[in-house]
Structure 1
């Protein structure tokens, strides 16, 4: 197979799964293109961005989804039941592709009807599992619920609903769709989600593969820490705790635990020179009022070189996700040689070796999270990249998958 197309909700210049996979395919001679609903990447022969009409359809779908999930337990995160989307089968990038990579495509980009339109083309569709949505009746993470292994119903997202609720409808729609086509292939970046896919009532009889994320190691690599701090105007005697804050209210990101951990750490080390360096779109005022240490905000980092520089300037990254697949922030930090403290959950143990390249804290334990931060600041760790971070092996597995599909094996 010589041509593939990546379909994803958003493309960014700072690097995302689809774009990184696209770049790696291009390096090894596979022609790749990307189709996105939203993008800050300029349109080109390789990058196609949908227009205003498709964005309006997306907004309508979001409003309908908000209405359908108005009584959902928002503390459990996203629940998606797509109604509207865009038929992308007429696009030249899709017509010319030998295989279709389907990434995160919700929020009104593609509905299940649109996905079935793609399946009808007969081309292999390789579904990248960025979260659990393709395995469940609609939740993006099940938070311990195992009903998706048989059939979603009486969903914890809808505590006041009947037995057959929106999750049941979503599960049954996916079941009918998946059962009709034998050109659907599912790829999980993490061991944890791979096992979930093998157990799901939706995908347990479908081809499921485990292929870790790809990452450009020419960008994300160790850099002299003193020089990195100097470039970012950080005093050499400052110890830097790095934290990515996309939203303080994101139920997946464990904001309350990192703030509690930093308060515990402050009681122990308030006389030390410690700065909390924050990147992302978080609320600056709300964060600064909560964190006891000196804080500095980098804002949203839109290029990978600045992001790699920031990881190198830090002494430790804190990533307190309550559930996650194989988060790129951890991947990137470890590739730069900066240890990571995170909860022992989801796909995170694939990357962090406890007290070797970071610290795996007990789940939802702020005290242990603080202990982990202190451990990484106190001990001289020389993090080696985890086994999951083998770019050559990951891209080779994708090539092997494409070859196997082509040969019918």
Structure 2
């Protein structure tokens, strides 16, 4: 069996990492898997990059322009939503033609448009679509937070400046997705029970097949190692209890670092003696900004890395990992 996994990126972001790990797991278990991406970051021969060109950048910019216009020319949530109005037709590529199964992953920001996806579905090949956030089952957002309109019909979108309207951008994209899915034969996969439940509640998924399958992990790589050596590698104190918080972008409010700060404040108030024993490790882009937050414990910022052997070392250096996310699918960390 030949499986083609499709993702915007090979290694940037949790969805890309999960897709890449799945490809490796399939190849290690007798399935011939390849990954088609717009942005390739390694020399992995199983990963195929779309033909490079300035057109990819223009597609991304054009999508932002349409969103910007819908936002009354405000930057409000400009990069928090996607509408899939631009993309690349991949159905004529040899990798697509030879595949027995097409496996979609995170395909936003100009990788595939809704029209491109429609053409993939029309090819007659079996399609699996792994959802790495809520975008597949909402109008335009990746995380709906308190909004539940996607359960019936998206409109008056809180992501649009001024609260949108009855037939705003979210409504129009919702209708396009509804039309797309109506005749589609797709198996949708959520990486968590929470996302499975959310997807099944969406009006877009009425009558659709939705399953929950956790992301794979390389258990021969992610395993215990020498903690002392790991702490020396990252210049972390040998005798402290270390708590790790990690995120692609530390300042992303959805990842909940403010709640971690508050939890630590409460802990320090109730047990002031812990100020001498507990310290915080923050991993990710803009981690240095965490030193300005009101943590009651000393903070050790570490830069973002997408190298798995480095992540293994960081995990082995700490005593506890905390995920205070407000909404999340199944973070690879």
Fold conserved between structures, TM > 0.5: yes
Aligned-pair CA distance for 1:154: 2.3
Match of 1:278 in 2: 282
In structure 2, distance between residues paired with 1:119 and 1:271: 57
Match of 2:323 in 1: 319
Gaps of 5+ in 2: none
Deviation string, structure 1 residues 338-383 (Cα, Å, up to 9, x no partner): xxxxxxxxxxxxxxxxxxxxxxxxxxxxxxxxxxxxxxxxxxxxxx
Match of 2:18 in 1: 17
Aligned-pair CA distance for 1:172: 0.6
Aligned-pair CA distance for 1:123: 0.6
SS for the counterpart of 1:326 is coil
Change (3 A) 1:303 1:230: same
Aligned-pair CA distance for 1:100: 0.7
CA contact (8 A) 1:197 1:203 kept: yes
CA contact (8 A) 1:73 1:157 kept: no
Gaps of 5+ in 1: 330-409
CA contact (8 A) 1:69 1:79 kept: no
CA contact (8 A) 1:54 1:86 kept: no
TM-score by structure 1 length? 0.73
Match of 2:47 in 1: 47
Task: State how many pairs are aligned.
Answer: 325
Aligned-pair CA distance for 1:174: 0.5
Deviation string, structure 1 residues 224-256 (Cα, Å, up to 9, x no partner): 433432443433211111111433442311232
Q: Pick from 163, 167, 176 the counterpart of residue 164 of structure 1.
A: 167
In structure 1, distance between residues paired with 2:198 and 2:283: 31
Deviation string, structure 1 residues 276-308 (Cα, Å, up to 9, x no partner): 222211251x22122443332321223211101
In structure 1, distance between residues paired with 2:62 and 2:76: 18
In structure 1, distance between residues paired with 2:64 and 2:140: 16
Match of 2:263 in 1: 261
CA contact (8 A) 2:287 2:303 kept: no
SS for the counterpart of 1:152 is coil
Match of 2:4 in 1: 5
Task: Report the RMSD for the aligned CA atoms in angstroms.
Answer: 2.4
Change (3 A) 1:164 1:29: same
Q: 1:4-403 alignment to 2 at 5 Å? A: 4-12=3-11, 16-42=17-43, 44=45, 46-50=46-50, 51-70=52-71, 78-158=80-160, 159-182=162-185, 184-267=186-269, 268-269=272-273, 271-284=275-288, 286-290=289-293, 291-329=295-333
SS for the counterpart of 1:252 is helix
In structure 2, distance between residues paired with 1:76 and 1:301: 26
Match of 1:407 in 2: none
CA contact (8 A) 1:77 1:252 kept: no
Aligned-pair CA distance for 1:54: 4.4
The range that moved more, 220-229 or 173-182, is 220-229
CA contact (8 A) 1:60 1:84 kept: no
Match of 1:335 in 2: none
SS for the counterpart of 1:280 is strand
